Amino acid sequence: MSPPLLRRTLSGTVLVATLIVIAAARIPSSAPTPPAKEAPPPTLTLADWPLESGAKLGKRIFQENCVGCHGDTGLGDGEAAADLNPRPRNLRKGYFKFRSTASSKLPTRADLLHVITCGLPGSSMPSFRLLPDAHRDALVSYVLTLAAFEKARLEAEILRDADGLTMPVIVKDHLPEIRKKVEAEMAEGAVPVTIGQRPPTTPESVEKGRARYAKECASCHGKTGVGDGPSSYALRDWEDAEIRPRDFTTGVFRAGSAPTDLFLRLKSGLNGTPMPAISGSDDDLWALVDFILTLRTQAPEASDHAGCPIGGTTR
Ligand code: HEC
Ligand code: HEC
């Protein structure tokens, strides 16, 4: 089951449970009062996680530039977060949308560097191109550290709950091996998919893309591509926040609008959102890219800054 569906089912359950609790509260009875809620058991904290030198520098740069939105520990709960849509990413959960890696996998360092350097047009995620290369590289290390830490925290909780070990013992005796395992798994997944040569755009390729679009994309993205398909109003992301399909008429894409960027978005999907990875041969995907590019009706904006032009090549 996809995370958004699971969320919806869970919130349905919570609602029913809440109604039952409210109903129960109205019946005057001598039922015993439930025990006070216990404090959550101790878990791994970021302070338990030794930072290598890149991530250490990255942490400092993150405190200076990112916490207002992404929160002190990367949970996406910074002071500005509540007012933003889309919300700043919870960087701990390991859901990254704009990747060159297979569906559900983690991004490569180059993917993260691209997001940090160019920002995500159409969202409040700014471009940090003015930071020195070394600082942006260190930020990539720290973002990956936050994702690795969260995976390790869950592993540590399994040891705590299943084997009855205390956190100090887990930190002292098991953390290095958990860390090795988590980092190896992450590195294994962060492998770019192959992108072959783009075939030439022809009337036939556009037509092929149009036919598939009508069948598989228009329900969300709308017949003319403005993002108003019949399913578009009920979409939720993995945090149960409302999410809208992209409007293709503007030509503004979050992570680059070069054909290669769009190809990657289709091939990899956007983790944690209703936008699925699209199946089919590379030629099928290129045909969809050819068609989507015909939907633009607004004049291309002037390039926003060197290296990250809107409508230009970003890779
Ligand atoms: C003004 C608010 C704001 C600030 C400041 C900000 N971000 Fe973001 N960031 C966002 C939002 C909003 C998103 C989600 C955009 C979306 O879902 O399309 C995001 C998404 C991301 C992502 C996820 C990319 C993906 O592929 O899913 C990363 C990584 C990221 N930010 C890193 C950073 C780093 C590092 C900094 C500091 C150097 C930073 N952000 C500063 C708002 C912000
Ligand atoms: C279930 C609804 C749904 C379907 C079906 C769907 N999409 Fe999407 N798509 C979305 C949503 C929602 C987003 C925006 C996600 C976000 O903002 O994080 C999106 C985003 C995109 C993006 C933008 C990436 C960027 O960088 O801004 C492209 C390209 C795209 N979709 C193409 C397609 C194509 C082509 C199809 C059909 C083969 C398709 N989508 C089918 C919901 C859908």
For residue 19, pLDDT beyond 50: no
| Cβ of 116 below 6 Å from ligand 1 | yes
Q: Which residue has the higher pLDDT, 75 or 22?
A: 75
Nearest CA to 265 among 247, 289, 241? 289
Nearest atom in ligand 2 to 86's CA: 17
CA–CA separation, 280 vs 173, rounded Å? 47
Residues with CB under 6 A from ligand 2: 97, 216-217, 219-221, 231, 235, 243, 245-246, 253-255, 262, 265-266, 270, 273-275, 278, 288, 292
CA–CA separation, 269 vs 288, rounded Å? 14
The tokens of 105 are what?
Answer: 């996998």
For residue 294, pLDDT beyond 90: yes
CA–CA separation, 148 vs 284, rounded Å? 35
Nearest atom in ligand 2 to 253's CA: 27
Give the length of the chain.
315
The tokens of 237 are what?
Answer: 């992301």
CB 99 within 8 A of CB 108: yes
Kindly report the protein residue whose alpha carbon is nearest to atom 5 of ligand 1: 66
Residues 6+ apart with CB under 8 A from 276: 103, 269
* Residue 243 CA, ligand 1 centroid: distance in Å: 16
Nearest atom in ligand 1 to 271's CA: 27
Nearest atom in ligand 2 to 243's CA: 12
Average pLDDT of the segment spanning 198-222: 97
pLDDT of residue 32: 66
pLDDT of residue 37: 78
Nearest CA to 189 among 144, 228, 229? 144
* Residue 220 CA, ligand 2 centroid: distance in Å: 8
Residues 6+ apart with CB under 8 A from 163: none
pLDDT of residue 13: 47
